[in-house]
Amino acid sequence: MTVRAWRSLHVRLILGFAVAGLLGTLAFALLLPTVTLGAFRSELQRERTERLERAALDHVARTGSLKGFRPDPAWGGSDDLARSALVLDAAGELTSPSTSNARPPGNWRARRDTRVLTRGGRVVGYVVPGAPPHDTPEERALLSSVGGSLTLAALIRVLLVLALGALLTRGMMRSLHHLTREAQRFTLGGAYQPLDVRGHDEVAVLTAAFNAMRAQIDRADGNRRRLVADVAHDLGTPLTVASGYVQAMVAGRLAPTPDRLLVVQGELDLMRGLIDDLRLLSRVDAGELPLDVTLIEPRALLLTVHAAFAERARTQQVSLSVHAADVPRVPLDDLRVRQVLGNLVSNALNHTPEGGAVRIEGRARGDAVEFVVSDTGEGIDETHLPFVFERFYRADAERSGSGTGLGLSIARSLTELLGGQVSVHSRRGVGTTATVTFPRVTGVEDARDGAASRARPRSEPYGSFREGA
């Protein structure tokens, strides 16, 4: 997709800045006459009033009274002057009534702006300001000057806005162009090249998010390829063993003894376990996994999990203990929680050497109940901890036969489906602790509603305990 130049974001932003500048100048031009002319007219009225006052006093000094006083024609027409200010004698009569039809206002003596003309301590007359003058030569000259200045200012403003807009958007558009080229190259299958993150603005955040997205996609793609290899290996090995036994029995080279048939059954069980894990995850993702939430007893649940792994722990010569005292009942799906804890315990046994210990614990913590599985095994390196819950991820890539990397992913998916959280803390050479936290929801019905529970037959397997890290 090609963007035409006149429709590009760069051009639209610059034009937007220019339009904003023009609108600002237009608004200023509309408001300026109202503000400026009012002040100008008031000042012009004051100046004319003072001029009349001085001229009237000069006339009194020459003639002894205001009789016959007329404004200087050079100041403007007498009617214009009369509208600006009126000159009255001591009796309140116009000094030159024949020159104007103006009349003083009835309350002119009470007005604060009426000026009293005195000479030698006696009142000789009054100057009464009138309405501010309008459409005077001075006013027209002012408007002409202001209009020219505004036109020049608008032109300079638009040019500055265009230049600054182009400068400010240049860096942003360069980053967006890089993002576009990288996205187009990605759609064509090109190699991933992280983009430089410059600055701390929204474009920098977008670039960082794009880099993170690309890294996540590459990691998911690597997991997908690893999944294909792992599934092919985990299905191929037992399938090869079972197929070899069956072919030998069909050909008559081996007798179908119970022991040999048990070997075939064991290999088929391995394949079924892998398929069950994948099917379980797909149902969780699709929201099709029903839950049966009831009030469960945490201690009884942990004892059940302990019993399921006691023989395996004894065979590996690993100490397996359970601790759960005074833990209140909590509304959960018993089968799904056993699957979660079973995957965690199986994972712990996989990584705990002979003579080590695995501890299963239940405890109340505020408004939540915690199930903790800790071991004294080899631990997980810090660089792998952020990814242990990702599907098909294994911290030790060389142990390809130890599992598909689905165990911890299943544990997290089921825990979140039940409204809980799971976390893992580990130190290399010290051990690993996995903590599953569930809220203590009030009432079974609330928990059932929160988990979107539906009735289902309890014919599903106890759960597959495959290594997840």
Predicted confidence band of residue 83 (pLDDT cuts 50, 70, 90):
low
Q: Specify the 3-state DSSP secondary structure of 139.
A: helix
- Length of the chain in residues, anyone? 469
**More confident call, 262 vs 77:** 262
Predicted confidence band of residue 462 (pLDDT cuts 50, 70, 90):
very low
CA-based end-to-end distance of the chain:
43
CA nearest 275: which of 466, 457, 416?
A: 466
Give the per-residue pLDDT at 453. 43
Would you tell me the crossing angle of helices 298-316 and 334-350 to the nearest 10 degrees? 30
Give the per-residue pLDDT at 231. 72
For the chain, what percentages of helix, strand and coil (3-state, to nearest 5) are there? 55, 15, 30
Predicted confidence band of residue 435 (pLDDT cuts 50, 70, 90):
very high
* Residue range 45-56: mean pLDDT, rounded: 82
Phi, then psi, of 136 in degrees rounded to 5: -85, 165
- Helix (H) or strand (E) segment spanning residue 228: helix 202-251
pLDDT digits over 348-383, tens only? Answer: 998 899 999 999 999 998 889 999 999 998 888 888
pLDDT, mean over the chain: 77
The full set of domains in the chain, from first to last, is: 1-178 (no CATH), 202-284 (1.10.287.130), 289-450 (3.30.565.10)
Give the per-residue pLDDT at 23. 78
Measured CA to CA, the distance from residue 151 to residue 240 in angstroms comes to 89
Within 59-121, strands assigned E span 85-89, 115-119
> Sign of dihedral through CA atoms 133, 134, 140, 144?
positive
Measured CA to CA, the distance from residue 282 to residue 39 in angstroms comes to 78
Predicted confidence band of residue 75 (pLDDT cuts 50, 70, 90):
low
Give the per-residue pLDDT at 451. 47
* Residue range 432-453: mean pLDDT, rounded: 65
400 DSSP assignment? G
Is the pLDDT confidence value at 76 over 50? Answer: no
* Residue range 94-122: mean pLDDT, rounded: 73
Phi, then psi, of 368 in degrees rounded to 5: -135, 165
pLDDT digits over 187-241, tens only? Answer: 777 666 777 777 776 777 888 888 888 888 887 777 777 777 767 766 777 888 8
CA nearest 138: which of 44, 259, 63, 202?
A: 44
Q: Indicate the pTM of the whole model.
A: 0.48
Measured CA to CA, the distance from residue 149 to residue 41 in angstroms comes to 20
Tokens standing for residue 105: 């206002």
**More confident call, 204 vs 247:** 247
Tokens standing for residue 152: 């020049």
Is the pLDDT confidence value at 100 over 70? Answer: no
Task: Find which of 41-55, 259-273, 384-398, 450-464 is predicted with most confidence, using mean pLDDT.
Answer: 259-273
